[in-house]
């Protein structure tokens, strides 16, 4: 996993989760407490409500990306940028300042005037954006989007999101953002939930991950909460996102989100990593996740079926069924264990699939059990289009 440095701030597995607070200088932005048109008031807000509450990064928005509003031109964003530049110049606290934009012209002027990184909500749809970020040697958050400056985040399927993040390449300092939220009419809450469920797969890009899930609909819907009452679901999801590999959390609820992110990090899986020796244990729990990493390093995604181990508990096996299972498992390279009423079947997705094929036909019930294990416990984890 690549470590990215944003103005000296380390972002990656070896660093704490980073909190990105939000300041808007766009009057149409829906979260009004973050919206300012007076630079002095904006600076005071950043110091008091963002940096003092634990924000490592302050993301400054020049326009609302809500699909209901017309997209501003680059010149219109530039007209608003002066307010943002004046505001961050008056901030007394220490933070990394990020400019949210889709235009390379806006990014360049911001970087020339005190900003430290870029948050590209159109994912390099402007092909000059990665060139500018590389030229200024700055971190850039790249949100998954179509190659269209007017449709940020308008991708539904997880596999398409993954591919969109590779559009126009990745700089050495790219942070990837899977684009949670209702960016298009076609995107459903289930699409967001599936993306969150498969969040570890985005680690297969080898870059740090940013998530923006604060009070999002796909979380509120689960608990039946309004936006105002959705803090608890956001914090639960924040801990889970960090545990699944997220490195930057974008939020309006800075203090609470910071605490939730620290809990997620504390109880995430412990993995071997030694940069001096050049070894890292990957965070792989499914064959789809393994296939992403295999593709990244030029390996054969077909090896994904041998990359993880599954453990299933079978009960009420008759002695002859257990004997048949043991024989089939031995031939497939799987393991059968246990002697106190329950039996454990242990193996890779590939070996367990071979077990199900090797059960003699006279053991119909056992064969049905093994087929179900193979189908539901293994194949659902295979990447569909890698």
What does the H/E/C string look like for 246-278? CCEEECCCHHHHHHHHHHHHHCCCCCCEECCCC
Extract the residue ranges of the chain whose pLDDT is less than 70: 28-34, 66-69, 375-386
Distance CA 17, CA 36 (A): 27
User: How big is the chain, counted in residues?
Assistant: 386
CA-derived radius of gyration, the chain: 24
Cβ atoms 57, 9 nearer than 8 A: yes
Q: Which residue has the tokens 């199900």?
A: 356
Domains and CATH numbers, the chain: 4-280 (3.20.20.20), 306-381 (3.30.1370)
Give tens-digit pLDDT for 134-182: 999 999 999 999 999 999 999 999 999 999 999 999 999 999 999 999 8
> Whole-prediction pTM value?
0.91
Give the tens place of pLDDT for each residue, 197-232. 999 999 999 999 999 999 999 999 999 999 999 999
Q: How far apart are CA 285 and CA 292, in angstroms?
A: 12
Secondary structure (3-state) at 290: helix
Q: Which residues contact 229 (CB under 8 A, 6 or more apart)?
A: none
d(CA 268, CA 247): 12
Question: How far apart (Å, rounded) are the C-alpha atoms in residues 173 and 194?
Answer: 27
Q: Contact at 8 Å (CB) between 258 and 235?
A: no
How far apart are the C-alpha atoms of 139 and 157, rounded to whole Å?
26
């Amino acid at each position: 996993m690549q470590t990215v440095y944003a103005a000296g701030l380390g972002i990656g597995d070896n660093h704490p989760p980073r909190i990105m607070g939000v300041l808007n200088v766009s009057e149409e932005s829906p979260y009004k407490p973050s919206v300012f048109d007076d630079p002095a008031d904006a600076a005071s807000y950043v110091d008091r409500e963002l940096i003092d509450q634990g924000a490592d990064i302050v993301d400054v928005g020049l326009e609302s990306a809500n699909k209901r509003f017309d997209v501003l031109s680059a010149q219109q964003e530039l007209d608003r940028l002066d307010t943002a530049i004046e505001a961050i110049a008056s901030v007394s606290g220490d933070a990394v300042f990020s400019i949210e934009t889709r235009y390379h012209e806006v990014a360049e002027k911001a970087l020339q005037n005190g900003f430290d990184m870029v948050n590209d909500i159109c994912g390099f749809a402007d092909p000059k954006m990665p060139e500018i970020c590389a030229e200024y040697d700055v971190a850039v958050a790249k949100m998954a989007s179509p190659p269209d400056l007017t449709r940020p985040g308008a991708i539904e399927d997880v596999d398409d999101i993954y591919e969109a993040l590779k559009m126009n390449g990745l700089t050495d300092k790219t942070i990837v953002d899977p684009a949670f939220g209702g960016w298009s009419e076609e995107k459903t809450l289930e699409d967001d939930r599936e993306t969150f469920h498969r969040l570890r797969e985005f680690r297969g890009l080898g870059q740090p991950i940013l998530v923006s899930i604060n009070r999002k609909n796909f979380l509120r819907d689960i608990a039946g909460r309004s936006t105002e009452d959705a803090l608890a679901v956001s914090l639960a999801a924040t801990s889970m996102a960090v545990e699944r590999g997220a490195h930057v959390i974008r939020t309006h609820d800075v203090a609470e989100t910071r605490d939730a992110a620290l809990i997620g990090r504390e109880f995430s899986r412990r993995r071997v990593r030694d940069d001096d020796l050049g070894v890292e244990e990957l965070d792989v729990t499914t064959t789809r996740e393994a296939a992403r990493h295999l593709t990244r390093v030029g390996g054969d995604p077909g090896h994904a079926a041998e990359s993880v181990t599954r453990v299933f508990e079978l009960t009420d096996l008759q002695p002859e069924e257990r004997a048949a299972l043991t024989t089939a498992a031995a031939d497939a390279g799987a393991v059968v264990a246990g002697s106190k009423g329950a039996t454990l079947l242990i193996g890779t997705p590939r070996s367990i699939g071979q077990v199900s094929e090797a059960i003699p036909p006279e053991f119909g019930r056992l064969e049905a059990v093994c087929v179900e294990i193979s189908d539901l416990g293994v194949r659902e984890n295979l990447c569909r289009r890698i």
